[in-house]
Amino acid sequence: MPEETNLKFGVIGAGKIGTFHTRTLAKMPGVTLVGVCDPDLMRAQKLAWQYNATPYSKMEDLVGQVDAVIVAAPTHLHHQIGMYCLEHGVHTLVEKPIASTLEQAKDLIRAAKQRECILQVGHVERFNPAVVEAVKYIDHPKFITMNRLGPYDARMSNIGVVLDLMIHDIDLLLTLVPSEVKSIDATGMSVFSAHEDIANVRIRFADGTLADLTASRASFERARFMHLFQQDAYISVDFMNARVKMYKKEKPVISSMQDLTVIYPPVQKQLPITAEILHFIDCIKTHRTPAPSGEKGSKALELALKITEQIRRFDIPKTEHVHTPKPLQMVQDVAKAAQMMLGETLGQFKQDK
């Protein structure tokens, strides 16, 4: 039996996420890391040389030498880069979100099918070992809350927090609830960027399931939690620390905590990004549909865009004049109201006197 040759990989994008992928691929058996590409050649060189790969400033020079690529470039470039790779017969893992628009996502899906290439979307939270373990116990949850909070990262200021962070939870939600979305009620506001930096959405499904999602990149500390309430059980998932905890009802009537079983399912520790890439490689070798596929990534993008649109719909309309950022506008409005109240109080005080 002939010895299996290594898959030749390239990474496009030498930023923070590209660095994670490059470091993981460099240590992975059965893989040859050919090169790292970034328009900033100095940045590509620094990363590529660290892991014994070749730096490139043009993707055209890299794509012809590899079997597969990981696209870790800014979101607005996903379509252009992904289309070039797929049209040249290269298997592609594109970081979330799959693209900026649904039309772009459809282009990528179409190109992958035409060239019989694997197209996987980088929703890495699916491979979080806590999620993998928790799924074994999740059975038709009726109420789900997800919270994804963290400090501001100027690197992602070109998109809002819904496409930046919440889309992870949107993808998980659509995987856990096999029902159509019936309605969404979303709100959010910008704090530091020109896009929403904090967002909350309540999603109702046709089967009665209710989900409440909150994402913020204006918080002091990082927190990543999912809580699920289902018949006779409550499941808590800590994404960051890869922990699962469950309360399970054991008697028809609960008279004390003794009537509940507390379960701490064992979670096998593995870096989600490693599991994600191994899954991508397996799909390439076995020609099976990846998770998430381009179609699933497109579904998450569609819902994320609807949420973003609803948030923007309630923004203060912009005029031709300089638009005051909303947080500052709010501060000015509060100050004006306080000034009026103070004036009224002082006036009443003088009359009483």
pLDDT in tens, 281-314: 999 999 999 999 999 999 999 999 999 999 998 6
Q: What is the model's pLDDT at position 109?
A: 98
Pairing of strands 54-56, 7-12: unpaired
pTM of the predicted protein model: 0.85
- Coil, strand, or helix at residue 233? strand
Torsion, Cα 45 95 137 281, to 10 degrees, reads -60
Neighbours of 175 (CB within 10 A): 17
Residue 36: closest CA among 19, 26, 48, 24: 48
Return the minimum-mean-pLDDT range out of 41-45, 141-145, 251-255: 251-255
Cα separation, 231 vs 47, in Å, equals 50
Q: What is the pLDDT of residue 4?
A: 67
pLDDT (tens digit, 9 = 90+) per residue, 228-287?
999 989 999 999 999 999 998 877 777 777 778 899 999 998 999 999 999 999 999 999
Per mean pLDDT, which range of 34-48, 180-194, 238-252, 264-278 is the poorest?
238-252
Q: What average pLDDT does this structure show over 143-164?
A: 92
The mean predicted confidence, pLDDT, of the chain is 89
Q: pLDDT band at 160, cuts 50/70/90?
A: very high
CB neighbours of 183 closer than 8 A, spacing ≥ 6?
Answer: 203, 204
User: What is the per-residue pLDDT across 313-343, written as a single tens digit (0 to 9) for each?
Assistant: 865 444 344 344 444 444 445 445 445 444 5
Between 269 and 133, where is the model more confident? 133
pLDDT of 259: 74
254/272 Cα distance (integer angstroms): 38
Distance CA 342, CA 315 (A): 29
Residue range 21-44: mean pLDDT, rounded: 97
Q: What is the mean pLDDT of residues 138-145?
A: 96
Alpha-helical (H) ranges within 162-313 are: 167-176, 272-286, 294-313
Per DSSP, the residues of 280-312 read HHHHHHHT---SSBHHHHHHHHHHHHHHHHHHH
* Cβ pair 70, 85 in contact under 8 A: no
Domains of the chain: 7-117 (3.40.50.720), 126-269+305-312 (3.30.360.10)
| Interval 64-118: pLDDT, tens | 999 999 999 999 999 999 999 999 999 999 999 999 999 999 999 999 999 999 9
Burial class (CB in 10 A: 0-12, 13-18, 19+), 107: middle
